[in-house]
Amino acid sequence: MMNLSGMPSASSMFQAYASMSASITLFKTMLNQLVPHQLQHYIVTKICSYFRANSSNVTLVIDERDGMGINEVYTAAEIYLSARISPEFQRFKISKRPKDTNVNVKFGNCGKIVDFFEEIELVWKFVRESSKKTISRFQDGDEGDVSEKRFFELSFSKQYKERILNCYIPLVLNKAKAMCNEKKVVKLHSLSNSHSFNSKAWDSVNLEHPSTFETIALEPALKKTIKEDLDKFLKRKDFYRRVGKAWKRGYLLYGPPGTGKSSLIAAIANYLKFDIYDLELSNIKRDSDLRRLLLSTTNRSILVIEDIDCSVDLPQRTDNRTNHSVNVRSRDHEITLCGLLNFIDGLWSSCGDERIIIFTTNHKEKLDPALLRPGRMDMHIHMSYITIESFKVMAANYLEISDPLYRGFKEVEELIEGVQVTPAEVAEQFMKSEDRDVCIEGLVKFLKRKRIGNNEEQVKMKKVDNNTIDDVANNNDTEDDTRLHEVKRSKTLSIT
């Protein structure tokens, strides 16, 4: 129906629009059912590339990952662009942790930022794509687990391609490094609940541990040795490359519980400004996952495996009964000692620079000798019971007492020489009161009780040893009597 002016009525136009929409919806439904999604994506890509062929711009795609490793250009771009907020950027992710001075701004989906370099206009675009992938039947997780791909697109006029690659990209890398060093906050990374071991395998929080080499209760000589070793390690990049070794260092911290192994790790991280990756071997299923986790860590980081002697039951390399190489279970289904050794100093350990690996254990004697040799654990640090020097450090930190002649110090020092007490036990006594004299008196009483307990334990052990000696002697006497009886009986029989 048409009106007097010859124009179609509103109802006619609406009906035509509804009919067209229904036709388009039907066509899209049929297209999705008949044409696979991958083929649709391929066709669209080809069409877009055809229309872009005559474009004067070029686009660089910067993926988050380069194969199995991290793409440093992507990381640098993320840091560099976080300080350049654009009005055209419509979606952000913000966060703030306790030690952060400012709000952290990260990119949402399809954000765009315009930057300028020597009057060249550059357009950055951040893209996130989600897709389903099939999980191996040997791997935990549901079929069709969702993976995410993230990347930047950098567009500019193609005539400036060489200048951008040779000048602008290095500028982004250097500025990002400077920004990181300026506001570096040490991170503590732990394994996430993800089963796919991709780039999101680690969750992180700010390292809130305040331990430093000034506050930790260690012998001054040992502190100096550790710091000098760390400083030398940082300065020897060219040396490691010249001799053909991966730029890494291994430390073994061993000693009784409560002697400050975790505090020393935090002090090293705060001293170097290295992130910590806390590796729980009990949560890793197989050697291949261990390799992926290693590749997903950053340079200038500390890999920590605590309580290595009891964190996982590593199959031995040989069977003691046959002295032949055996495979208890398939290597695809468990983490092995061989896999751990390759992780420490094999080919995979060279995929990264400035890495420190730290093992901790309460029982060094339980570890396989292969883990302890130089090149894997380069420096063995014994975390012992508290000494007079370390006690003075703790008194200065906890009670703010620096006078070596303070009342009660002499008695404490005499007791410490004859008692094995850990820094954790001394710290517990120092935290019971805000009165320094009360804390010193409490520590003296604690040390005396501990010495009495040790003496009683020694007496019990002596009694046990004496009883054992008596039992052995009695058994020997009984055996001698039995032998004498048998001899007499044999003689009697022979005479008869």
**Tens digit of pLDDT per residue, the chain (496 long)?**
555 556 667 777 777 777 777 777 877 777 777 777 777 777 776 676 665 555 688 899 999 888 777 788 998 888 888 777 655 555 667 777 666 666 776 666 566 788 899 889 999 988 877 765 544 444 444 444 556 788 889 999 989 999 999 999 999 999 988 887 777 788 899 887 654 544 457 888 888 888 999 989 888 899 999 999 999 999 998 898 898 888 889 999 999 999 999 999 999 999 999 999 998 887 787 888 888 888 888 888 999 999 887 765 555 544 443 444 444 444 444 677 777 777 777 666 667 788 899 999 998 988 888 888 887 889 999 999 999 999 999 999 999 988 888 888 889 988 988 888 999 999 999 999 999 999 999 999 999 998 887 766 666 666 655 555 555 455 555 555 555 455 445 444 333 3
Q: What is the dihedral of CA 399, 401, 405, 411, to 10 degrees?
A: 20
Residue 116 Cα distances to 90, 105, 122, 124, 150, angstroms: 20, 21, 6, 11, 23
177: which 2 tokens?
Answer: 């490094």
For the sheet with 355-361, list strands across it.
Answer: 202-206, 187-191, 275-278, 301-305, 355-361, 248-254, 379-382
Q: What is the dihedral of CA 442, 448, 454, 456, to 10 degrees?
A: -120
Could you give the CA distance from residue 468 to residue 187 in angstroms, rounded to a whole number? 55
For the residues of 258-309, what is the DSSP string, one character each? TSSHHHHHHHHHHHHT-EEEE--GGG--SHHHHHHHHHTSPSSEEEEE-SHH
